[in-house]
Structure 1
Amino acid sequence: MKLREKLRQFDKVRRQKLVWIEKLFYKAISLNRKPEKTSIDKKEIKKILIVRNNKRIGNVLFLIPFVDQTIKIYPDAKIDLILMEPWQGQFFDGFKINKILYSKLRMSGILNFTKTIRAANKENYDLILCPFGSSTDTIISGLISSRNKVSSYDNTRSRIFPNSNQYDEKFTHTAYKPLSILEAMGNKLRFPIKHHITLSSDEKIKGIVDANRLKVNINELNVAFFRGARGKKRLSDATWNNILDRIESVSKVKINWIEILSKDLDYPLRQSNCRTFYSEDMRHLGSVLRHLDGFVCCDTGPLHLADAVGATCIGLFTETNIDDFGTLGSNSINIQGLEKLDEKTVFEKLYNWQTI
């Protein structure tokens, strides 16, 4: 067991045993910022802050449905976000967001974090929404003044979020679960629920141009894959070669593989007959993936990025549950465990999408 996993287990036990200390801490940070105990009328909500402090690509992308629904439910309100890092704001380009603040919550960024909290406290928010309720999200919410504060109901955090209501969870997927918070407030969700990034016309064109450069032959399948993943989710090179070989073995046409590289994974799996692509611009990477014939990836950030732009995704879930973290696009496949990988089904999905 890796050290990080041991620390996570320790933290889980610690929180269970020392919940009373956690309550005292939340009480202390909220002493001068107590929300109103009664929920204010919806018409009075003019300024909203949504808090999500997380550094993972997928977790930030899973915030999109909640942000989109909040915008639709409160069309006349100014809606701000607090995210962790500046690069995350790009995922909300095209959304009706007033401003985005960045916590930079880490030891080296404590000065910037303090400045962000001070700036937020000048806004006089009517409502703070904390859709995922992590400990850091709770702390940030406790440090900022607002008339009402709402999250999922948890007695431990009730001092910070006194306006939260108990509810039956309607959704299973991590991206949709927080929507029940909005419903518990008496709001009706607006369907269809959006989980997509909005690409501009210019971004789409640039994506098409680079995708076409990567394609060997438009009459063949040009499919991207990404080997990177955290911890146990990462597959060996031998396993990846086996997966690609299996899909090739049932293909009616030649498959031209395009490997997506990253800073952590800068060498190609196959030294010949395989093109590579690298981009630090995630919106551009998403647009390129959208305009290839498919994308094969484990449960990691690039998979959810590709899903958010509408790419044809083949998601390989070896350690996580597809009900919680699977791709949401209608033209994608989620595979729960490599033993359930059906290469014929994968090929048909890629081939049928390419011929549309």
Structure 2
Amino acid sequence: MGFKKKVNSIRRKLMHAITKRIGSSYADPKIYAGKKIEINNILIIRPNHRLGNQLLLTPLVQEVINTFPNCKIDLFVKGGVAPIVFQNYPQVNKIIQLPKKPFNELFKYAKEWIFIKRTRYDMVINGDKDSSSGRLLTQLANAPFKLFGDANENVQKQYPDHEHISKSPIYNLRHYLTKLGFPKNESQIPVLDIKLSASEIANGKKILDTIIKNNKKTISIYTNATGDKCYPEDWWETFYARLLKEYPEYNIIEMLPIENISKISFKAPTFYSKDVREMGTIINNTAVFIAADNGVMHLASASLTPTVGFFSVTNLNMYMPYGNASVAIDTNSTNIEDWIASINTILK
């Protein structure tokens, strides 16, 4: 681990130790029976700039909209692509973006915190219980109802999938609302969704047609990932060869990362885009998307495409793709025959 990463790791641990008790007094709201609760202006906090984490926030935003259809939502994030991710969410009123490097823009950083303090909200939701700044901001915010993200023991026992980073804040919100007198919500948890429009999807089809130039269905793969999540070239070469053998009736194309690298030496037709929504529209027009755990895997899931996610180092239960017939595979305890069987459940 490099010096910078060590410093950041120590900083995160220290801040977590300092802030972990913040919000403990807000666990169970006390509301008089029969009192009508008006919740219209809501702040959701998720100060993380990574693509995957901002996509993983979309189910919570949908849950809030489903629960309070006339609400206005402010999102407090850190840099990143949130304006692009949520551009088709009319209920998202304002996206407050912290700079990615706050010490380089202290004035802007302080200005946004002051805005949160001065704005009157009905409810504030911290989207990540392990975020120290998220907990501090939730404490600072001006609102009668606050969810710091801490898991309720009864909720954890009732829902085995509570550990998922997208589902946990939704289960917590539902539990909290029953304390306020709202009826218990047992509906299906929303999936990741960037709400691609019909015209966007049609444009993605046009782009895909210029790549494949035939009427066969298409399998898309993404061979890159960050750090230890990235599988080596020989792993992808073996897997790609097996895909060619198993699915001759399908096209196989590779999405390239910004670094313009390929773990299969560019053997498949490729596509590349810096536009997150355009990437999603192309993926939406494919039969299945296959990748290791990374932000683009979550983009495929948020494009409502069946997604196969490979996991080797990160917590599968926290980050697995779900919905749309998606599957998550622990490659430490499975083999290539298992992976093909999982893909067959989607394609065949």
Q: Structure 1 unaligned runs (5+)?
A: 28-33, 155-164
> What is the match of residue 198 of structure 1?
195
Is 2:99 the partner of 1:99?
Answer: no
What's the counterpart of residue 148 of structure 1?
Answer: 145
Partner of residue 207 from structure 1, selected from 177, 190, 204: 204
SS at match of 2:92: coil
Report the counterpart of residue 255 of structure 2 in structure 1: 260
The letter of the residue matching 1:286 is: G
**Structure 2 CA distance for aligned equivalents of residues 266 and 327 of structure 1:** 25
User: Structure 1 residues 94, 293: CA separation in 2 closer, same or farther (over 3 Å shift)?
Assistant: same
> Equivalent residue for 1:229?
225
The one of 280, 296, 301 aligned to 2:295? 301
Q: Output the TM-score relative to the length of structure 1.
A: 0.80
1:324 to partner: Cα distance? 2.2
From the superposition, tell whether residues 321 and 198 of structure 1 become closer, same or farther in structure 2 (CA, over 3 Å).
same
Give 1:348 shift. 2.7
Instruction: Write the distance in 2 (CA, Å) between the matches of 1:226 and 1:77.
Output: 37
Distance 1:141 1:22, change over 3 A: closer
After superposing the two structures, state which structure 1 stretch, 71-80 or 130-139, moved more. 71-80
- Identify which range, 123-132 or 83-92, moves more after superposition: 83-92
Shift of 1:313: 1.8
Which residue of structure 1 lines up, in the alignment, with residue 48 of structure 2?
Answer: 54
Q: Identity over the aligned pairs, expressed in percent?
A: 24
When residues 153 and 302 of structure 1 are mapped into structure 2, their CA distance, relative to the original with a 3 A threshold, is closer
- The alignment status of 1:173 with 2:160, answered yes or no, reads no
Distance 2:346 2:38 in 1: 50
Q: Indicate yes or no: 2:241 matched with 1:245.
A: yes
Q: Quick check: 1:276 aligned with 2:273? A: no
Q: TM-score, normalised by structure 2?
A: 0.82
Matched, 1:317 2:319: no
Distance 2:14 2:226 in 1: 24
Label 1:23 to 1:270 Cα distance change in 2 as closer, same or farther (>3 A).
Answer: closer
2:233 is matched by which residue type in structure 1? D
**Mapped partners of 1:168, 1:190: distance in 2:** 12
Counterpart for residue 44 of structure 1: 38
Q: Is 2:50 the partner of 1:63?
A: no
- What is the CA–CA distance in structure 1 between the aligned matches of 2:309 and 2:194, rounded to whole Å? 19
What CA distance in whole angstroms lies between the structure 2 residues aligned with 1:14 and 1:226?
A: 36
Pairing partner for 1:292 from 247, 268, 286: 286
Count of aligned positions: 328
